Amino acid sequence: MHGIVRVASLLVVLALGACGGGQSACEAAGLDLCDRACSCATDGKCRIVSGGASITFDTQTDCEALYVTLGCSGGGDASVDFDACQGDLAVAACVDGAEAGEVGVEMPASCNSN
């Protein structure tokens, strides 16, 4: 019986490894971006500010649809260092948006495609 448990555990580990388990660096950065965009906004929306322009999403799900689902399809933009982007997002400032009263996360330069 003890051997069966070991074999079952090994199969679970192998299955997780085969599936890739976890998220890609692109997906992790996209999720962090949307999380910061929503936590910075003061009006219940999610906002990203870049170059004086604002992108506003009604929900975190809407943000993730663009930056994770669409943005990471095919592995994401190869010119972005997603690990650096994710690190910079951890300390990204909440800034005023393009319109009066808007607040959002400032998009770190490392998150932009080159």
Average pLDDT, the chain: 84
Range of the domain at 40: 23-111
Residue 11 lies in a domain: no
- For 94, counting Cβ atoms within 10 Å of its Cβ (0-12 exposed, 13-18 middle, 19+ buried), the class is middle
Residue 6 lies in a domain: no
CA dihedral 25, 28, 32, 35 (to 10 degrees): 160
Residue 3 lies in a domain: no
Residue 60 lies in a domain: yes
The whole-number pLDDT of residue 114 equals 78
Interval 94-102 mean pLDDT: 92
Q: Is the pLDDT of residue 111 over 50?
A: yes
Interval 72-97 mean pLDDT: 95
What's the total number of domains in the chain?
A: 1
Residue 18 lies in a domain: no
Residue 12 lies in a domain: no
Strand 53-57 and strand 46-50: pairing? antiparallel
Residue 36 lies in a domain: yes
